[in-house]
Structure formats: C-alpha cells, structure tokens
Structure 1
Amino acid sequence: MRITRVTTGVLPALGLALGLALGPAVAPAAADASPSASPSGDGSAPTEAGTSFRTATEIDQGETATASGSAGDYLYWSFPADTGRRPTVKATVKLPKSHTAQTWQVDVYDGLRRRQACQYGAQTRTAAAGTASVELACVLRTVRAWAEPWADDPLPGTYYVRLTALGLTAGDLGLPVETTLRVDSKDIGGAAAVDGSLAEPLVPGAAFRSKDGENGTDAKGGSSGPAVLSSIEPDDGWSSGWWSDRWVWTAAGAVLAALAGIGGYTLTRGSGRPRQVPPGA
C-alpha cells in the first residue's frame, strides 16, 4: 500500500508539470504559423516592379504585388525575411492571347545577392502556345541566425525576387504581360535555432534621413540626418537571434528529469524498507 500511494502522488505531479511546461511552447507555435503580415486589402500594395537589384520594389510579406511589363524584361521585388522563417514566393504571369511556347523562371537572392536554392516548388515552367497564364513557386530554406562565412545558408535581411522569361523568340519579345507576386513565410521555431547571430541583418544600401523621416540633403548638399539602412524590415522588427522555443523545451526537460529523479528515489526508498509483520502473525 505504501508503494501505491507514492505512485499515485508522483504521476499526477509529472502530468501537471508536463502540461505547464509544454503549454507556453505549443500556444506560440500555433500562433506564429501564420504569415508575419496580413494581406493588403486597402489598395496600398505595389503596382510596379523594378528593373534591377538597386531599383527593386519593396513589398511586405503577405502583400499581393502586381506589375505590368513586357516579355523579355527583368522584374525585381525585394522583401524582408527574419530568423526562423521559411519564405515562400509565388508568382503568376498572365500571357497575351497569341504567343509561342514561353519558359518563365523566378529566382530569389539574399542580401549579398547570392542566388538561393529552392527547397521545392515549380521555379521554372514552360507555357505552351496560347496558354493564358503560368504559375511559379519557390520555397526557400529556413532563414538562419548565423552561418559560416563560406556557407551559402540564407541569413536574415533583404531578399530579392527576379522574374523573367528565358529564350524568347523574336516574335514574343516585347509582348505585354501582367504579373502577380506574393511572399508568405512559415515560422519554423526552435528547430532552426543556432548558437550565434549576425550583428546586423543583411540589408544593403545606406540612406540619410531628415528628422521628419524623409530623405534629404542639407544646405551644402550633404546628408541631413543620421545614416540608416533601407526602410524594408519586418513589421515587428528584426529579432535578436538569442530567444527561441528551444529554451522552453530545455526547461521542460529539466523539470521532468528532476521530478523523475525524485519519484525514482521515493519509490526505491519505499520498496527498500523491511516489511512490517503485524503482531501475533
């Protein structure tokens, strides 16, 4: 009976500790699985694209950007991606009624303009003659907080999207096209955490802003404000890189290990005592 009482007291304590420890980890994971920004429904989404890395149109994750162009043009957009996120780029190209077979491709580059490989997705597709549209997708690897200098891992900062057609015939060059681009991302959480972080996100370019937040120059033609990085960044700012739900799982494991040790000691101590023989037996 002594052993039975100890067992029923330890098991509920283990269950309660497990629920309290894992509860904070499960709830944020479910909340962070949604995109970092809500879709734009007020018409503020960009309606044009840049023609180079330097003129890339900035978009937020969750926005649906549109642009008109010509077959053969290079169309560029840029977006921010933070630590622990896995971005997904989706592009749709509406083609004219009359055209030959066209091959379209979407490429993604990081802040150092290194081309990033797609984990999966139709990065390149060929639209047969007369096809109304072609859809492309690229799911990047999870953005890491830190990597070796020689590695090609995606790091937090600005990412560039380039959309273009490959190997067009002379008859298709210059045909009008309509493009739609959207970037979403999934929060991977502590599974992608690493020991280390960048001093600054890879956001190229520096600009000078005046006190009212606008770019400007002083009377001598110089800059009229402190130097800042590009305005593109996540809505909630760049993460520090040190916190992840891996800390919660580590703490939960420590609590469970301690309770298991206490329970094992109590069970061993209770079973090791000599059995008391009732008087007169």
Structure 2
Amino acid sequence: MRIPRVLTAALLLLGVATAPAVADSSPSASPSDDGGAPTQAGTSFRTATEIEQGQQATASGSSGDYLYWSFPADAGQRPTVKATVKLPEASTRNAAQTWQLDVYDGLRRRQACQYGAQTRTAVQDAASVELSCTLRNVRAWSETWADDPLPGTYYVRLTAIGLGAADLGLPLSVEVQVSSKDVGGSGAVDGALAQPLVPGVATSVDASEDEDSDSTTATLSSLEPDDGWASGWWSDRWVWTGFGGVLAALAGIGGYALTRGSGRPSRVPRGV
C-alpha cells in the first residue's frame, strides 16, 4: 500500500509546482499608460519611432508615405503587431486602397507572419482598415543560415501599395500596438545569442581631449524588456523535466519493490 501513496503524493507535488508555470503563460505585455505613447512615426529604418510593448502609438501622415516603428522582443515571446488606418474621406479617394504591414528583425530581415491579415484592401467608401501580424516564437538561438526570429529590435513598416497618382498625399491617421504572448517551455531551445540584435539608430561624437577628433559611435536603441534581455531563460520546461525524472525514479523503485516481493519463496509450515 505504500507505493500508491508515494505516487499520489508525487502527483500532488507535480500539480502544485506547475501551477506558477501555467500562470506565466499569460501575455507578457499589458497595456501601459498611453500618456507617454509616441504620436508620430519614422520615415525609414534609421528614424523608426521606438514604442514599448503594450503602448498604443498614433501617427498622422499622408497616403503613399512609409511609416516605421520599432519595438523590443525577447526570447520566449510571440509578438503580435496590430495597426488601424483611418482612411481619408471617401469623397477624396478615387479607388480602393491596399495596405500592407511588414515586420523586420534587427538584421532587417523580413519576418513571416504565422497568422493575421498582413495585407488588406479597403473599398473606396471604407472609413478604416485593420491589419495584424503574429510572428513566430522568438528563439534564444538559431543557425546562421536560418531566418528564425531572434531577441532584439523589431521594425514595423506600414504603407499603402499600388496607389494611383490622384490618391497620393491624402491625410490619414494610424494607430499601432504591439503585444506578446509568453510561449513558455514549448518554445525553449538550447543555446543563446552573445548579444541581442539591437542595431544602431543614430551616431554621436565621442567626447575626448582632442577637440579636433571627429570619431563617432553608434547609439543603440534605448528600449529593452522590463527585466532585461534574455530574461526568459526560466520556463516550465525545467519543471516538467525535473518532475518527470522524479516520477521515473519512483516508478523504478515501485517496480523493483514489486518484483522483489513476488520473487520471495513461500514459507512452508513446520512439521509438514
């Protein structure tokens, strides 16, 4: 009777230990106070406006412009980018408009969307168009030839494609928001990058004693996850692996006890 009790206790401990891990699978970015959210967008990769995950950034522009934002994403996250374009007045447009949302990593490699409406066409009388792109899981490490999402800065580019000359330059407004889901141990891999893919966004002159020195250094993006880069090294993968080993050991002990008990010779009554 001791063996079932031991197994029951082990299962109870497994449930208690995995409870925090299950709770950690909730989205890692919660909507923050939008009072300090950006109200403009960049016009290139170098001038992309930095936004935090959970912020709702806004911008005004003209049809035909390329609008850029950047945000940080760490290992173990699955980022989702959503954009809402409030189109110009229907009376000022001559045809339907097709909008496209592209996401690039720190090496400016275009990342494929796992799901979401990345490209949409708005009819001529539509008031707005919504786009979204959910990336694959951000991995802590990848082969050099692969195109996997890696920790670092990501760029969002939003623009209308195939516009006629009469529809260029019309005023519009845009809302962009980035959120992430923590994928937990299911997305964990062995290995890690030496540094996140955070390219320089500007240059600054080095302060030195030589006033004639014109040396410059790259200024890296100032945004990073709240608890630092590569903060997702811990996941429920460790919990399941550890308790799987414990259960395997208990099963081995139980099997040994059963086989030992069944192999004992039966006692013969004395005097027979």
Normalised by the length of structure 2, the TM-score is 0.89
Partner of 1:212: none
Cα distance, 1:131–1:217 mapped onto 2, change above 3 Å = farther
Equivalent position of 1:44 in the other structure: 36
2:144 is the alignment partner of 1:149: yes
Percent identity among equivalent residues? 68
In 2, Cα distance between equivalents of 1:186 and 1:127: 29
SS of structure 1 residue aligned to 2:248: helix
Whether the aligned pair in 1 keeps the contact of 2:151 and 2:230 (CA below 8 Å) is no
Question: Which amino acid in structure 2 is aligned with residue 59 of structure 1?
Answer: I
Paired AA for residue 28 in structure 1 = A
Residue 77 of structure 1 pairs with residue 72 of structure 2: no
Query: Which letter maps to 1:46?
Result: P
Q: Match for 2:8 among 9, 15, 40?
A: 15
CA distance in 2, matches of 1:204, 1:25: 37
Residue 259 of structure 2 is matched in structure 1 by 268
Q: Specify the code of the residue in structure 2 equivalent to 1:143.
A: V
User: What are the equivalent positions in structure 2 for 1:91-102 lying under 5 Å apart?
Assistant: 91-98=83-90, 99=93, 100-102=95-97
Q: How has the CA–CA distance of structure 1 residues 67 and 42 changed in structure 2, closer, same or farther, with 3 Å as cutoff?
A: closer
Q: 2:193 aligns with which of 185, 194, 198?
A: 198
How many residues align structurally?
268
Among 228, 244, 251, which residue is 1:253 paired with?
Answer: 244
| Cα shift at 1:206 | 7.0
Q: Give the TM-score normalised by the residue count of structure 1.
A: 0.87
Residue type matched to 2:20 in 1?
Answer: A
Aligned CA distance change for structure 1 residues 235 and 125 (closer, same or farther; 3 Å):
same
Q: Find the counterpart in structure 2 of residue 35 from structure 1.
A: 28
Structure 1 residues 240, 60: closer, same or farther in 2, change over 3 A? closer
Give how far 1:67 is off.
Answer: 0.5
Report the 3-state secondary structure (helix = DSSP H, G, I; strand = E; otherwise coil) of the residue aligned with 1:134: strand
Paired amino acid for 1:88: T
CA distance in 1, matches of 2:218, 2:66: 30
Where structure 2 has 5 or more consecutive residues not aligned to the other structure, the ranges are none
**Deviation at 1:241?**
6.5
Go from structure 1 to structure 2 and tell me whether the alpha carbon gap of 1:150 and 1:126 turns closer, same or farther (over 3 Å shift): same
Q: Secondary structure at the match of 1:119?
A: strand
Letter in 2 for 1:79: F
CA distance in 2, matches of 1:278, 1:236: 72
**Post-superposition shift, 1:147?**
0.8
What is the CA–CA distance in structure 2 between the aligned matches of 1:207 and 1:25, rounded to whole Å? 44
What's the RMSD between the two structures over aligned residues? 2.6
Of residues 122, 127, 144 in structure 2, which corresponds to 1:127?
122
Please tell me whether the aligned partners of residues 80 and 132 of structure 2 are also in contact (alpha carbons under 8 angstroms).
yes
Letter in 2 for 1:190: G
**For residues 81 and 51 of structure 1, what CA distance do their matches in structure 2 show?**
21
Check if 1:138 corresponds to 2:129. Answer: no
